[in-house]
Every structure is written in C-alpha cells, then in structure tokens.
Structure 1
C-alpha cells in the first residue's frame, strides 16, 4: 500500500514480460454430464490415483461445498453439484477438513476453474497478460481432492505486503522472510495482498521462491496487484486470476473455516495525473457478502472463522479513511456476530490489534468485540532504510516494528494466538528499548551514522535523568498488552501506552533519508509504552529490566544497561 490516493506504477521497472498461461485447476476435466442453459455441473471426487483426472475407482465425495463466487451448494451422494454460471465466472471447490487440494510445482493450490469464454477483452490493452479465452464450458467441471490427516492443532504462516518492485527486492523477500519461514512447521501459508509492487511480471519468480517453503500457499490480491489499465473493478484482477484462480474463496482446515476476501475495490484510473495508476477503496461488496453469508449458512456456529483480507477493517492511522479502512465492515461483522472469529489484514505497513464493536468502531477488548489484527509487512518500510551487512534494506516499519510476518496458531480447532516473527532480527526479539531525553536532540546533527543508537542509549548525565523517558516499542502489542520495568530488580513500575512515533525509527529515517522511499515517514505507533525515569536515580551503572505481557498474556522480557554520569555535561565521544 502507498499513502497516496493515486498509485504510481514504477516506470523504471522492466515492462511486461509475457508469462506462460497458468494451468487450469487440476482435476477440472470434461465428463459425461451435460451442461444445459446457464449452469455448470460437475463432480467433486477423491483422487485416489493422484493423476489429477477422475478414474474408474475415484468415488464422488458428498457434502463438499462448491461455489460460483455467490451461491454455494453441497455435492450430493455421488459428489455431483450444479450451479448457475455466467461469463467471467470462477467456479471453485471449498476444501473440506480432512482433504488436500492439488498443487502445482510451486505449491499453489489449484481449486478453481475460470469460465471466461472470450477471455480478457483485448481492447483493455493490459500491460500484463490477462486470461486467454476458455471457450464453452466443459460438459463437467470436476475437482479432485486427496485424503489428508488434519489435526485441530495447527499453525498458519501469515505474510502480507512482501511488495517487491524489482528483482533485487524480490531477492530481499527470498533471503529474509522466505528463508526464516522455511524453518517453521505449519499446515499452510498465505499472503494477504500486495504480493508484488505493480510489476506483475514478477509473479512467476515470486511463486517459485515462496513455493520452496514447501507448504500449500494461498494468495489474495492487494491494491498493487491490480491491472491499472482496467476502467473499473470488473477487469482489475485479470492477471491475478490467471495466476491464482478465484480472487476470493474459502477453505476449511482442522475444523476451522478460512474466508479469503478481496476488499480492494478498484475505482478506475487516476484523474488529473499522467501517471500510470488508479484509485481504490476498501470495500467487500454485495457479491462477496452473498458468498460469505452462503458459506456461513453451511458452517456450524461454534466453528472458528478466520477472515483474511488486504485492507484493514479499521486502522489506527485512519479508521474512516476509505483508502486504508473498509467502508462496509459493519455488514461483515453482522454476518460474523455470535461466532468465534478473528480477522487479519495488511496494507498499512503497521502492526495493530483492534477490538471492534458491532458498528466496526475500535473500542475496548471484551467478549463481544471482534478481534482484528493488522499484520506486520514483510517489506516493512517498503524495503527502505540503510543496508545491513548482507546488503538488504533494514526496512524497519513506520511504526517501529522490524519487518517480518506472523504465525497463527490454532489449538483444538477453536482457540487461537498469533505471534510476530522478525524476518531479519533475532526471532525471539519482541521489543525495542530506548532512552529519550529532551536535551539530546542536538546530538542528531553531529553523531556518525554508524552510532545512531547513542541517541537513545546511555551514558546520560545525572542532571538529565529527570527529563529522560524510557520508551518501549512492544512490536506486536495492543490494547490488552501491559508493560512495566524494574531498576536493578526493584519494584515494578507500570508504563503508559502512548500513541506516538517510535523515536529510534524517526531518527533512522532522518539520518538515512537517501535510502528510503519518498513517502516513508515515522507514523504514530499503537504499541509504544513510556515512563519518565526517577529524578533521584543515583550516578552509576544500572540494569533496567522490561517485562511485557502481550495480547494473549504471554510474557516477554528484555533489558538494557543504563549508565548515569556524575557532574554536568555529556560524555566525550571519541
């Protein structure tokens, strides 16, 4: 996501490289069942042979959900289904618990058949190829599934906004988040939008890279995955659909329903600008609501529902801004009311926890509130910042969180937690602790770049102690988190959650302005805690220990050494 309402497609990126047409969903084959009128029929079957084509011993599977993106039906005792269909329709199976979807060589699940008889209109002149004509409907659109053991205890890797705008930045994704994720055990992974940054020719390489994690990997589109040449929303996902299939869909795993929604509603080309880009808003829309309602009607009310999307339902940066929040979120919450549920999103390159009331307004945590988690961006500050020792941008996010991702853990098919995983830092590091004195701002001009941390560390003169704040950024903190500190193991002192920019990241961006994208700046963070140091803290060397309980009550501990100098003046730097 970019902060600008008008999005620019980088002209420095190489032009469209023609991609090979993605294969149709494995198992979608012709058969003896006839199509009449504007209906599609087919069979969901158990692919016992693993051939991707129904054989004589492959029995039909009853009670499996199939959808056309609006209506949802169950297969009959023989595994057959019938659905209304029109041109430009995605027909897809909703994976049931205990079965696996076919995957291609890059571990992308293939569960949809695109019915686009004429293909993407040539008159659109899309920069990146759309859908080739599919011709008439096959006599039977079939979907093969294979049996798979699924525990009610499982993990899901949550990526959002990898957003590489060049091959170099795609290499950053490879060498940070993908490499870190390869060491994790999970049932599957997902990317909740901005898979790329406008250059959709990179899909093939990104799929090969992420596919090496070795897990089924699901995708939903972001605003930077759009075909900006489309005049409106109708054809704005042509390249995405060609690569991944249905733009929104659902699946079940371990008794949990996952709703994968596309809430980037494209409003057309940018006006008053010669740049290649477009306008959009966060909107789920009537068709997807009909789909969600139909799926929920077939789902027991005690089942956990996880909803994934790109644009947050609401965000700390602007809960009523349609570019960074979802305008029709209250309608979704009405459909989810009374069900155990969680929703996740990306887009803002911040890390946030919200507890929404029935109208979708952020409020206090409680049993009736809907938990909405805005995930850490894989690209952090859009791959901005000084390079690390590998030459990779440090990419600290604008709210101070180091770039990374999350892991969703489900236990018993009902209880859930999420955890933040830094992509380039120590995987156990969950907070940054700095000291900020109002009298140290002048140090910014004279401090060498390599010693930035001295701005927010120690030693500090004794006369500055009473004007120095301890600032803790609990990277994945939120309204339910609690932070306190102790000096030399003494009594715990509670810290105050304070909406403000992270001072370390603000200074980082200021000192390394040439290494960041032009729109990147430090924004108020929703997970900062502050406390003023005791004025009577004696000169000497002290241990400050910080204890933080996160949104799920888990304890995280870290600390720093504080040196207080006797007498006046700052230490002489050599």
Structure 2
C-alpha cells in the first residue's frame, strides 16, 4: 500500500494559511517560542484531507494531543525538533529508501561552522515555519505482526557494506514483516556511507526505523549537543516514538558523547538516556494506556554480562528509566556489545541484547562466498532477530545471517587432557562424526559443550546418549571453545581487539566414563526463553 510522500518545506510553510483560517476555534498563529501545526489525513496520492484528532505530537519533552481539527501547539524556543507519534492504524510518509519521515528539525543557523565536522550536518533551516504539519495515511494494521531487529551492521568499508547486503538484508527479503528496526552502529565511523546503506536496506520494502550508536556520532563535536548533526540530517529526531497494533515503540538515543577532552578515557561516551528524554518518556506514558506493550529500543544495554559496571557498555541512569516503567509490560532491546543476552530487570521487564549483524565486526576466515565467518565473540554466528507480536504478547527468534534458518545451537566436545590445556576436537556440525574417535580413557576428562545461540536464564538444556535417560546440563559463563579456537587458528582474519569472551549461553556436562567403544548419538534438547522446543544432535565415536 502506498504512503504519502514527505511534505516539502514549501508545503509545510503553506499550511499556515489553513491554520490561520481556523483561529476562531483553536490554536492561532505561532507565538514566539512555540511551534504550531496540523496533523491531517493524507490520501494515497498525498492529497490533504481533514485534520486528525487525538494524535500525539512532541518536541522531545512535552507531549500534546491534537484537537478535534488536528491542531497542536508546543513550546519550541531556539533549536529543536518537532515530531508526530504515529497512532495505530496509520502509516507515516517514507522516502524512496523507506526511511519514515515523522519530524521537523528546526536549526535556524544549521550546524555550527566552527565545529569542523568531517561529515555534513544540517543546512540552515531559517526562521520557524508558521506551521509544521504532518500527514498520515489510514492503513489496515492487525494486532499480530512481525518486526525485523538489526543491530550493529557496522560496516567499516564499502566491502563490508556489501557483506551487510549479502547476508542479513538478503535473508530478510520477501519475509512479509511489518517494519524493521536497527538499534545503532548503522555504520562504523564513516558517515558518508549512509546514503548507500539506506538504499540497500530500503530494498527490503518496508519502513525502517533507526537509532544512533556510538559509531554514528560526529566525533568533532565538543560535547553531546552537536554530536548528532549528520544523524539529524539523514534520519531526523534521534529520540522518538510510534504506535503499531497494541504496542508502543519508543526509540531512545542513549549514547551521550562526552567530547574529545573527556577525562572518562576510552571512547569518550557513556550510556545515558538523559533528563530530557526521560521527561519525554514520562509524558508519553501518561498518554498511553497501561494495558499496552511497551517496546523500548536503544543502542547501549541497560545491563550486560560483558561489562556490567562500565558506563560505556551500560546505561548509567537505568534506575530512573525502570522507575518510570514500573508496573508495565516492557520489552527493551539493545545492541552495542556484539553478544546475545537475555536479562529480566523486573517482573514484567525483559531486556534483550541482540545479536550483531556484523558479529565480531566482520572478523574471521572468509567462506566460499568471500564473506567472513563473523562469529560473535560469545560464539553466536552473526545474525539478527525477528520480534513477533500478537496483541500484547510477544516472542523473539534469532536468525543466522549466513547459516540455516533453524540453526539454533552448536555442539562441541572439549578435552581437558594434555596437562590441563583445553583442546577442542575439531568437528562441530551436528550429526557429523568426529574425525578421530575419543579414546575411552579420555571420556572422564571430556566435556560436552553446547552454545544455545539465543539462550538465557530461563533456557533449559539436557542431553542423552543413544536411548539413555535425559541428563541436565549446567549453564556456565565461559568462552565458547569453538570461537576461541577459530580466532586462535586464524588471527590474521580478525580485527585486533576481537577475542573470545565469556558467553552467557553456554551449557556444559562431563561425559560419562563408561560409554562403550563404538558410535553413539548424542541428542541435545532445549527449551528456550519462551518455552519453545529445539533439538540437535551429533555422533560420538569412542575408540
């Protein structure tokens, strides 16, 4: 179904006439320090129809509802952004690359010339328009829908942007999802790639919403104020929201740039939502029924096993956010760490750190396609997730960007012989026979290691040998032996900072010492975070 194109600046300013004519029954012309406008029904050809009542509009802090004629007014003193919060059953206008156009960035002087930005920021917008209007198209919008979740595609070069195209994007084509989300690090510092990246992802053919990551910043900015100049030009408001079905999606920019002169060290940024965005969320929730599912998307996690106390890897004002969300059903999504994690921050708050599209930053040996294996540092193959929502219920499902669609785990054997130094027996694919049988005397020192790629604290894992009894496995925070050996075996193929890190989704069991010589089937049964079954197997030879 077609959606209206985004209004040109001339058309936006022209909306002042309609606003002035309706002064007797609603908001009049803008006063100093405020924005006014109309949210209206747009026809398939972009034709302007009646005003839409009860649509939320925000300046990034205050949230107001349009009146019976679709009119609103908001404080806007100096630089600022005004955006419409799409209601359920309506579509936003999208550009040729399916980027939703929902905001107006007001920056009269444009990006300050003295910043010396490497990548182009905003051109001067001039005086505040007499009216900032938004057109929405009425569409059928069922309560059951799927959303593709990307994080950290992070291409550092044109070649790596091609890897994004030929893996994750290729896997999503034709899947019939409602829309997509990328939770940051769309690029890897070189912001000149946005146009090509948007062209590639836009070919999926659905609206695609974005949040900025730390690698999407303008690093020349001395502080957070102007660190999203290029982002605002390309995508619009860095923090915003929209409704779809019975869910409220809130897109939070929680990367706070501290500037090149920061005494924090390292990357000179931290995870912080900030007072203004917290106020926006509080005002938005006041206008949202409590029986709605709230889906938050951000770049830096609220919590991570990887570095739980590092402000560059967690959100320092998390507690203030959790307090606002108390008593609501919440799914929050993040990326950044290039690991896959599930956390439960409150009774009804599930925090999901998503698998990176780039895995280990496009590291690892190239496959026959010329694309790096890109296994994440916690052992998960590079990939993405699909969020399925029905009403206010949801599930997520991991998808490998390069493997089989039902591939959900890796089974390996690890020997602790040779003076205690781990040795991985080098054949991992389910249902294949190990190249060399395991000596019977080594069984008591051999661990069965299972990486359930999207596993978490609610996942249950058990194994059995042949037709024997099912035996539980223990969740153990440790590196994946497969990816540890992969990086050690091919050091020249990885980025210098990449190494195997302790994984939150590894299960371990010591093999019985009395397995008879010969061939045996090891079956692994999993119940994932949502109670869904998953099964895989391998063949064990005992010599």
What TM-score do the two structures reach when normalised by structure 1? 0.88
Of 364, 381, 385, which residue of structure 1 is paired with 2:360?
381
Residues 161 and 496 (structure 1), Cα distance of their counterparts in 2 relative to 1, 3 Å cut: same
- Partners of 2:163 and 2:171 lie apart in 1 by 12
Q: Contact (CA 8 Å) 2:414, 2:423: kept in 1 or not? A: no
Correspondence for 2:134: 143
Of 461, 477, 485, which residue of structure 2 is paired with 1:483?
461
- Partners of 1:231 and 1:126 lie apart in 2 by 11
**Are 1:176 and 2:167 matched, yes or no?**
yes
Q: Contact (CA 8 Å) 1:192, 1:220: kept in 2 or not? A: yes
Residues 484 and 62 (structure 1), Cα distance of their counterparts in 2 relative to 1, 3 Å cut: same
Kindly state the Cα deviation for residue 27 of structure 1 after the two structures are TM-superposed: 6.9
Query: For 1:416, what is the secondary structure of its paired residue?
Result: strand
Q: Contact (CA 8 Å) 2:414, 2:422: kept in 1 or not? A: no
Residues 457 and 440 (structure 1), Cα distance of their counterparts in 2 relative to 1, 3 Å cut: farther
**Are 1:294 and 2:278 matched, yes or no?**
no
**Are 1:563 and 2:536 matched, yes or no?**
no
**Are 1:101 and 2:80 matched, yes or no?**
no
Runs of 4 or more consecutive aligned structure 1 residues displaced over 3 Å after TM superposition: 22-29, 270-273, 440-447, 450-458
- Partners of 1:444 and 1:296 lie apart in 2 by 52
Q: Contact (CA 8 Å) 2:240, 2:251: kept in 1 or not? A: yes
The superposition leaves residues 238-281 of structure 1 with CA deviations (integer Å, 9 ceiling, x where unpaired) of: 001100000000000012100000000110015699x9x95100
Q: Contact (CA 8 Å) 2:378, 2:500: kept in 1 or not? A: yes
Correspondence for 2:24: none
Of 247, 250, 261, which residue of structure 1 is paired with 2:252?
261
Q: Contact (CA 8 Å) 1:89, 1:114: kept in 2 or not? A: yes
Kindly state the Cα deviation for residue 430 of structure 1 after the two structures are TM-superposed: 0.1
Structure 1: state its 5+ residue gaps: 1-21, 358-367, 566-574
**Range moving further from structure 2, 32-41 or 303-312:** 32-41
Residues 134 and 549 (structure 1), Cα distance of their counterparts in 2 relative to 1, 3 Å cut: same
Q: How does 1:324-473 map to 2 (within 5 A)?
A: 324-357=313-346, 368-411=347-390, 413-439=391-417, 458-473=436-451
- Partners of 1:180 and 1:462 lie apart in 2 by 43
Residues 455 and 269 (structure 1), Cα distance of their counterparts in 2 relative to 1, 3 Å cut: farther
Correspondence for 1:9: none
Query: For 1:500, what is the secondary structure of its paired residue?
Result: coil
- Partners of 1:529 and 1:310 lie apart in 2 by 28
Correspondence for 1:362: none
Query: For 2:14, what is the secondary structure of its paired residue?
Result: coil
Query: For 2:280, what is the secondary structure of its paired residue?
Result: helix
**Are 1:64 and 2:55 matched, yes or no?**
yes
Kindly state the Cα deviation for residue 86 of structure 1 after the two structures are TM-superposed: 2.2
Correspondence for 2:78: 87
Of 153, 171, 189, which residue of structure 2 is paired with 1:162?
153
Residues 370 and 499 (structure 1), Cα distance of their counterparts in 2 relative to 1, 3 Å cut: same
Q: How many residues align?
A: 525
Of 504, 512, 518, which residue of structure 2 is paired with 1:534?
512
What TM-score do the two structures reach when normalised by structure 2? 0.93
**Are 1:238 and 2:256 matched, yes or no?**
no
The superposition leaves residues 33-82 of structure 1 with CA deviations (integer Å, 9 ceiling, x where unpaired) of: 3222111100000002532xx63xx1000000000001000000000000
Correspondence for 1:363: none
Correspondence for 2:3: none
Correspondence for 1:517: 495
Query: For 1:59, what is the secondary structure of its paired residue?
Result: strand
Query: For 1:268, what is the secondary structure of its paired residue?
Result: coil
Query: For 1:215, what is the secondary structure of its paired residue?
Result: coil
Structure 2: state its 5+ residue gaps: 1-5, 20-28
Kindly state the Cα deviation for residue 90 of structure 1 after the two structures are TM-superposed: 1.0
Q: Contact (CA 8 Å) 1:353, 1:478: kept in 2 or not? A: yes
Kindly state the Cα deviation for residue 173 of structure 1 after the two structures are TM-superposed: 0.2
Q: Contact (CA 8 Å) 1:25, 1:111: kept in 2 or not? A: no
Correspondence for 1:13: none
Kindly state the Cα deviation for residue 320 of structure 1 after the two structures are TM-superposed: 1.9
**Range moving further from structure 2, 435-444 or 65-74:** 435-444
Residues 81 and 556 (structure 1), Cα distance of their counterparts in 2 relative to 1, 3 Å cut: same
Residues 23 and 160 (structure 1), Cα distance of their counterparts in 2 relative to 1, 3 Å cut: farther
**Range moving further from structure 2, 436-445 or 256-265:** 436-445
**Range moving further from structure 2, 521-530 or 180-189:** 180-189
The superposition leaves residues 278-321 of structure 1 with CA deviations (integer Å, 9 ceiling, x where unpaired) of: 51000001000010001100000111000000000000012221
Query: For 2:50, what is the secondary structure of its paired residue?
Result: coil
Residues 78 and 486 (structure 1), Cα distance of their counterparts in 2 relative to 1, 3 Å cut: same
- Partners of 1:127 and 1:459 lie apart in 2 by 58
